Amino acid sequence: MAASSSELPERLVVLYASQTGNAMDAAERVGREAERGGCPAVDVLSMDCFDPSCLPRERYVVFVVSTMGQGDPPDSMKDFWTYLTRKSLGARWLEGLFYAVFGLGDSTYGKYNYPAKKLDRRLFNLGAERITEKGLGDDQHSSGYEGALDPWLLILWKSLNQTNPSLLPRISDAIHPNLNILGDAKVEVIYYSAPQDTTISDPKILIERARSMSPALKYHNEGEPQFMLQMVTNQRLTKGDSDRDVRHFELEDRYSPISYQVGDALEILPSQNPSAIDAFIKRCNLDPDCYITIRAKGGDKLSKGSPMNSLMDPIKLKTFVALTMDVTSASPRRYFFEIMSYFATDTDQKEKLQYLTSPEGRDDLYWYNQKENRTVLEVLQEFSSVHMPFEWLVQLTPPLKRRAFSISSSPLVHPNQIHLTVSIVSWRTPLKRTRHGLCSTWLAGLSPNEESIIPCWIYRGSLPHPKPSVPLVLIGPGTGCAPFRAFVEERAAQSVTEPTAPVLFFFGCRNQDNDFLYKDFWLNHAQDQGVLSLEKGGGLFVAFSRDQPQKVYVQDKIREQGARVLNMLCSSEATIYVAGSSTRMPADVTAALEEVLCQQGGVPKNDVSQWVTGLKKNGKFIIETWS
């Protein structure tokens, strides 16, 4: 007989919305500390794995929320937030719920920690009671988000203990955990010496099998790759002497058309350096050729609800590491160092690890690890006396994530291909070490028409597919031009068979000679009755920021062409699309548009921001940004 809700032990639910993994890591820390403090039941869940209609049944919930771009919520929060904003939910809907919110953001952005602030206010307005005031983590802090998380957690546990001592009876253990006691890993690895029928001919199934076993990916429900594409073009767009390397890639399915539309994005699962994978396996004393399956502790398979039993068939250990564990680019989390300290046999290394994971060593850990972008392999090689069991490595190594890129081609023109515009990422750390982006560097190293296959998924981007009859104002400096190359290419194809509305395109780069991406493409469409031509009501306006003493940016070109922009907005009901860097550009472009509306359009200064907000709500002003 099932127990009634009153008979069940009170639990603490920790819900997180994460895009890069930081919020998930912070949420798991909240869960660990609650368990150490004696909380009888703790559930840590991604927000998209929790039914928001069940929220009133809960008693204690902690929310950990990251921020995307210009104050947007992570993808995993969007449906949850949509439910919370229903008008049918009354002011007492969450009466009896105690909650706390911690946000992760960057104070250099205008809408700093916006999702966390909105969530905190909405929960309060629905009748829930705060356990403590919201915490706001800041990437600009000398310790990153943990600079705010550490003191916030101390207040949270004290407040929760005062609210309900039985929920957190051992508060001292939560605040001052005994780091000499190692708990159990959450997963177990089962080894097979000679499994039967392990040959997999379909690489799609192999990828899905491996990633379905990963505890860090278990809630993503990725499924097998939709496409396995081959690179047929790898062309550098920037000049060879430029310090920026931007590439045009063409990926192809030679046997069937690819189903996508302009505005979509392509997610790619990159390959890690095979020699680095071998080095990791050797460093950890693992057998690369043995076969494994991975289960949650207690025997439950991690791929709950999977429709294919074959997904949990054994897989070679080396294959699992290569396809799921990011040992070559992602930095390990703080908990990784904490667990390492248990297994360090060298006294000096153990003391250093214990210091780095202590409150006193928090800043040093941040600078050693995140700022220097140390990889799991590098950290393990430096702390050579540490030999962590594979179960812990599986649990704690950051997952190998898919990377997303805006599609820069139209399926009307290239039904069997997808084009990408990719900046090959590299940077220097504070200690002058050169780091390279995993996926972009891997793609740049592929030779066209070789046998290498690229696992890909298509997902709907945040730039809606425009109808041919809708006029467009496109603003995409740098690689922000990628989706708009697709828009222009598609509209040109549509114009052959039907009437199409005009397009204004604003592009910006440093120099006309070095990084005018797709120069010939834009110029061709801006002449001879092309979709960007003045004859068709369109226009191409390019800002070269470094070609004259005074820097010129896309926002300056928008002001120069204010009359054209205003006419498109007011007379033709155009849609504005903005894509590119998530730093200052979107705010500067918005300010320029507001200035045009105010000074040339006659919109009162006090009303112009509201007017722009109205455009956004009506889907007429759409921004897609990335870091």
Say how far apart CA 56 and CA 100 lie, in whole Å. Answer: 15
* Angle, alpha carbons 98-99-103 (nearest 5°): 170
438 is in an annotated binding site: yes
Say how far apart CA 467 and CA 478 lie, in whole Å. Answer: 25
434 is in an annotated binding site: no
Is the CB of residue 187 less than 8 Å from the CB of residue 394? yes
State both tokens at 598: 């105010």
412 is in an annotated binding site: no
96 is in an annotated binding site: no
* Angle, alpha carbons 204-208-213 (nearest 5°): 155
106 is in an annotated binding site: yes
219 is in an annotated binding site: no
278 is in an annotated binding site: no
Residues listed for the chain = 627
3-state secondary structure 21-53: CHHHHHHHHHHHHHHHCCCCCEEEEEHHHCCHH
18 is in an annotated binding site: yes
110 is in an annotated binding site: yes
* φ and ψ at residue 101, rounded to 5 degrees: -125, 130
212 is in an annotated binding site: no
241 is in an annotated binding site: no
CB neighbourhood size of 92 (10 A): 11
263 is in an annotated binding site: no
551 is in an annotated binding site: yes
107 is in an annotated binding site: yes
DSSP 573: -
552 is in an annotated binding site: yes
Q: Residue 338: which H helix or E strand, with range?
A: helix 334-343
Give the strand pairing for 265-268 and 42-46: unpaired
- Region label for 38, one of left (φ > 0), alpha (ψ between -120 and 50) or beta (otherwise): left
405 is in an annotated binding site: yes
Say how far apart CA 255 and CA 517 lie, in whole Å. Answer: 30
588 is in an annotated binding site: yes
Give me the residue label for tokens 């496109």.
474
199 is in an annotated binding site: no
113 is in an annotated binding site: yes
Give me the residue label for tokens 């007017």.
611
Give the strand pairing for 291-296 and 187-192: antiparallel
403 is in an annotated binding site: yes
21 is in an annotated binding site: yes
Say how far apart CA 105 and CA 140 lie, in whole Å. Answer: 9
Give the strand pairing for 265-268 and 453-459: antiparallel
Concatenate the DSSP letters of all residues of 188-202 into one string: EEEEESS-SS-----
Say how far apart CA 524 and CA 529 lie, in whole Å. Answer: 10
CB neighbourhood size of 311 (10 A): 19
Say how far apart CA 182 and CA 124 lie, in whole Å. Answer: 38
368 is in an annotated binding site: no
546 is in an annotated binding site: yes
104 is in an annotated binding site: yes
462 is in an annotated binding site: no
38 is in an annotated binding site: no
Q: Residue 386: which H helix or E strand, with range?
A: none
515 is in an annotated binding site: no
553 is in an annotated binding site: yes
Amino acid at residue number 588: D
44 is in an annotated binding site: no
Say how far apart CA 603 and CA 621 lie, in whole Å. Answer: 17
86 is in an annotated binding site: no
319 is in an annotated binding site: no
Q: Residue 580: which H helix or E strand, with range?
A: strand 575-581
Distances (CA, A) of 620 to 360, 437, 469, 575, 606: 50, 34, 14, 4, 20
Concatenate the DSSP letters of all residues of 398-463 into one string: PB---EEEEB-S-TTT-TTEEEEEEE--EEE-TT--EEE-HHHHHHHTPPTTSS-EEEEEEE--SS
Give me the residue label for tokens 């890909």.
456
585 is in an annotated binding site: no
Q: Which residues are annotated as a binding site for FAD?
A: 403-406, 437-440, 626
Which residue ranges make up the annotated binding site? 18-23, 66-69, 104-113, 139, 403-406, 437-440, 479, 545-546, 551-555, 588, 626
Q: Which residues are annotated as a binding site for FMN?
A: 18-23, 66-69, 104-113, 139
- Per the annotation, where are the binding residues for NADP(+)? 479, 545-546, 551-555, 588
